[in-house]
Amino acid sequence: MNENLHRLRCFGCGTRIAGVEAQPDFRCAQCGELFEVEYPGWSERRGPDRPNPGALKWLWRDRRASLEAADQSGVWRFRELLPILDNLENAITLREGNTPLYRLPRISKALGIEQVFAKHQGMNPTGSFKDTGMTAAISMARERGFEWVACASTGNTSASMAAYAARAGLRSLVLIPEGKIAWGKLSQAMDYGAVTCQLPVDFDGCLRLLTEVVRQAPIYLLNSVNPYRLEGQKTPAFEIAEAFEWDVPAHIVVPGGNLGNSSALGKGFRELHELGLIARLPRISVIQAAGANPLVRSLANANGAALEPVQAHTRATAIRIGNPASWRKAVRVIQETGGRCLDVTEAEIAIAKAEIGAEGLGCEPASAVTLAGLKKLRAQGFVAPEDSVVLVLTGHTLKDADYTIDFHRGTLLTEEETGGPNSEIAAEIASLRRNAVAVDATPAAVLAALKGQVR
Ligand code: F0G
């Protein structure tokens, strides 16, 4: 692995630079857009650096039985497709990736879709999909000799960064919007030893501020504007393709916040396609919360050519983002794969989350937008009964236990959001709620609690 294998290409003006030439904010000096990692050797059809698809499929599977840390990582197992480090010894891994792909039988039946799966990225070491990107970018920070790393976050990026920084022996700085992140995530950043600053601004404000900070001090920026994050975050695409024996599912559905994840997954599938590992692309659809839907608006109003930032509001705090950094990359993914982009209400998110919980999996609210979105895509006829669908669940249910408890206690949503006590939505919620009941400490009282419980 070495610097010559990769370079950075500006997503806006196409300027190409070496990785070491990137500015601290990872914006193009010419046009201000973001960069994407590219591997020049791949385009030389018979060149020695062009990966060999057949051999790789065997090699990657073989590594799952290896005892080497890098081989046990679901990111570095695919290292031939992310040759970003000079030396693999610099890889900091918590054995991220290799997350389970679960069938969702009840949801499949209810939606009339033969095969619905959940790729549960919440089963990563710090409980979210961020770990796959963080292992890549933190390793780069260490290789480049940084002492400090930093991110602005709605919670998961900071939890992940703090853990990987601690493993790498680096110091970490976290900027979070005060009062707007789930406790589970905040507790992680503290536990892993980050310097955590709560600011009286939203996520977009935190990121703007941090961009200033990294220009003034030698701190390595670990938000998804860092193109190396996306190199790690593209690997779940490889895992999904592998799980489907390299015949990809018809649809992938992902939540959209800052839009790094959808961009990364799209890049992953695109590269598999270009290298001949898969014969077609899955349609990638991005779902946002209705109160934080700048990409939905951008596609509807400007065909994705411009994006108007919004003031974001949603209880799915992970995706409470009004000015997403990677929107142009996400637009390309949706347009080139033929996916759709739509938004879902707070009530739809809450119901979908409870349904994923009832499958024995659970996820955080931001992840549940995928199922809420799938219902709409099915109703539109965009997803057919015979299609296979993978929902990307981005975070673990324990990340935001308050949300779950409020839902089951019936205190989460307002009447305006449910349409009042007699609405269809209220009835659906009532059928999903499982509040804890206080009973006397006798067998009779416990058995009485079972009465009237229908399956
Ligand atoms: N789901 C969860 C659980 C998230 O934490 C995030 C983003 C997303 C979805 C959206 O992904 O930004 O790549 O479109 N969380 C970031 C954070 C912003 O700071 O933890 P995206």
Choosing from 319, 331, 367 the residue with most ligand 1 atoms within 8 A of its CB, the one to mutate for a pocket test is 319
- 233 touches ligand 1 (CB under 6 Å): no
* Beta bridge pairs of residue 102: 118
* Centroid of ligand 1 to alpha carbon of 176 (angstroms): 13
- Asked if residues 24 and 225 have their Cβ atoms less than 8 Å apart, the reply is no
Please give the structure tokens belonging to residue 180. Answer: 């707007």
Cβ of residue 133 lying under 6 Å from some atom of ligand 1: no
Answer yes or no: is the C-beta of 236 below 6 A from any ligand 1 atom.
no
Cβ proximity of 97 and 74 under 8 Å: yes
Whole-angstrom CA distances from 447 to 89, 253, 331, 431, 442 are: 58, 42, 55, 21, 9
Partnered with residue 8 across adjacent β-strands are: 17, 37
Q: Are 136 and 228 in contact (CB under 8 A)?
A: yes
Residue 223 alpha carbon, nearest atom of ligand 1: 19
Question: How many A from CA of 427 to the centre of ligand 1?
Answer: 30
Q: Is the CB of 132 under 6 A from ligand 1?
A: no
Closest CA to 26 of 300, 289, 214: 214
Nearest ligand 1 atom to alpha carbon 256 = 14
Burial of 109 (0-12, 13-18, 19+ CB in 10 A): exposed
- Residue 54 has a pLDDT of 86
Ligand 1 atom closest to Cα of residue 259: 14
- Which of 34, 121, 154 has most ligand 1 atoms within 8 Å of CB, for mutation? 154
Distance 155 CA to ligand 1 centre (A): 8
* pLDDT value at residue 52: 85
Q: How would you write the pLDDT of the chain (455 residues) with one tens digit per residue?
A: 554 689 999 999 999 999 999 999 999 999 999 999 999 988 776 667 778 888 999 999 999 999 999 999 999 999 999 999 999 999 999 999 999 999 999 999 999 999 999 999 999 999 999 999 999 999 999 999 999 999 999 999 999 999 999 999 999 999 999 999 999 999 999 999 999 999 999 999 999 999 999 999 999 999 999 999 999 999 999 999 999 999 999 999 999 999 999 999 999 999 999 999 999 999 999 999 999 999 999 999 999 999 999 999 999 999 999 999 999 999 999 999 999 999 999 999 999 999 999 999 999 999 999 999 999 999 999 999 999 999 999 999 999 999 999 999 999 999 999 999 999 999 999 999 999 999 999 999 999 999 877 66
> CB–CB of 259/267 below 8 Å?
no
- Which ligand 1 atom is nearest residue 151's CA? 19
For ligand 1, is residue 322 a contact (CB within 6 Å)? no
- Could you identify the atom of ligand 1 that is nearest to the CA of residue 153? 19
In this structure, the dihedral spanned by the alpha carbons of residues 245, 246, 250 and 251, taken in order and rounded to 10 degrees, is: 100
Atom of ligand 1 nearest to the CA of 185: 20
Strand arrangement of the beta sheet that strand 283-289 belongs to: 101-103, 115-120, 388-393, 251-255, 283-289, 341-344
Kindly report the backbone phi and psi dihedral angles of residue 83, in degrees, each rounded to the nearest multiple of 5, phi listed first. Answer: -80, 70
**Protein residue whose Cα sits closest to atom 6 of ligand 1:** 318
